């Protein structure tokens, strides 16, 4: 998979993808990540990427020209209908659809090239949305200074779902939200610490009972902290 990030702060990403799973996936050729400075796609001597909004109001708005030029440079067209198959252009903004595990899985399954546009200021000229954006995504009901942190979240969540990225076929399948509920509690050595014991069932070697315990505890944890995930139950 190829992921390109459009930003006015390319240095934000200088080292953030050089650790852990993302680094291993990059070195293995599972994912290719490109960072692009929007200022490189401006045509004026001041390299302006923003301007005041028509109609007045506070703040500035990211201009459409450099974003259109950047997209055209990456996919050789500035019309969404002509994008190559598997291309997704994602605008990161508070107004977008909430990012969830199912959305990450959809990108992993269906996308081959993802372009992330990091919103900033009061937003992005709406003509970018009208002509280029395939998905407008928000990582939560709060406002960030820009889309850069959200881009890191998407890259991480999507990359770890790519085949062979985790080194285990079942790791991602057992994550929280993958089955519609939270993950179960986990324990490791030592079996006793400061009077707190690891549940005996996990030490029993009985895999059927261990799986049953994990499912029960996953549901228990979900009921306690995220009842909204259990829509089929009477909470």
Measured between alpha carbons, how far is 32 from 4 in angstroms, rounded to an integer?
8
Question: Which pair of structure tokens corresponds to residue 209?
Answer: 């009972």
Of the candidates 67, 10, 71, 1, the one whose C-alpha atom is nearest the C-alpha of residue 33 is: 1
* Residue of 72, 175, 183, 220 marked catalytic: 175
State how far the Cα of 133 lies from the Cα of 119, in Å rounded to an integer. Answer: 12
199 is catalytic: no
Which position among 122, 156, 183, 220 bears the catalytic label? 122
Q: Which residues pair with 114 in a beta bridge?
A: 3, 88
Task: Mark 25-42 as b/e (b = at least 16 C-beta within 10 Å).
Answer: bbeeebbebebbbbeebb
Catalytic residue, candidates 10, 53, 94, 149: 94
Helix, strand, or coil here: 149? helix
Q: Is 52 a catalytic residue?
A: no
Nearest Cα to Cα of residue 49 among 92, 9, 3: 9
User: Catalytic annotation on 122?
Assistant: yes
Q: Indicate if 15 belongs to the active site.
A: no
DSSP output for 86-146: TEEEEEEEEEEEEP-HHHHHHHHHH-SEEEEEE-BTT-B-HHHHHHT-SEEEESSSS--SB
| Omega of the bond leading into 17 within 30 degrees of 0 (cis) | no
Asked if residues 66 and 38 have their Cβ atoms less than 8 Å apart, the reply is yes
Catalytic annotation, residues? 94, 122, 160, 175
């Amino acid at each position: 998979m190829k992921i390109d990030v459009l930003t006015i702060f390319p240095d934000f990403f200088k080292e953030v993808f050089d650790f852990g799973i993302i680094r291993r996936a990059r070195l293995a050729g599972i994912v290719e990540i490109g960072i692009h400075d929007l200022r490189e796609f401006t045509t004026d001597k001041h390299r302006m990427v923003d301007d005041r909004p028509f109609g007045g109001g506070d703040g500035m708005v990211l201009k459409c020209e450099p974003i259109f030029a950047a997209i055209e440079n990456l996919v050789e067209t500035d019309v969404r209908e002509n994008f190559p198959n598997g291309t997704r252009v994602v605008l990161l903004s508070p107004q977008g659809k909430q990012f969830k595990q199912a959305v990450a899985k959809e990108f992993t399954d269906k996308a081959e090239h993802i372009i992330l546009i990091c919103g900033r200021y009061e937003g992005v000229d709406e003509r970018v949305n009208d002509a280029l954006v395939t998905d407008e995504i928000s990582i939560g009901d709060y406002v960030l200074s820009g889309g850069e942190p959200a881009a890191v979240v998407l890259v991480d969540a999507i990359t770890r779902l790519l085949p062979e990225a985790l080194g285990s076929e079942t790791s991602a399948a057992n994550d929280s939200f993958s089955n519609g509920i939270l993950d179960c509690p986990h324990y490791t050595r030592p079996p006793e610490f400061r009077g707190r014991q690891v549940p005996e069932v996990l030490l029993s070697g009985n895999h059927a009972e261990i799986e049953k315990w994990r499912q029960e505890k996953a549901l228990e944890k979900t009921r306690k902290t995220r009842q909204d995930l259990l829509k089929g139950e009477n909470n």
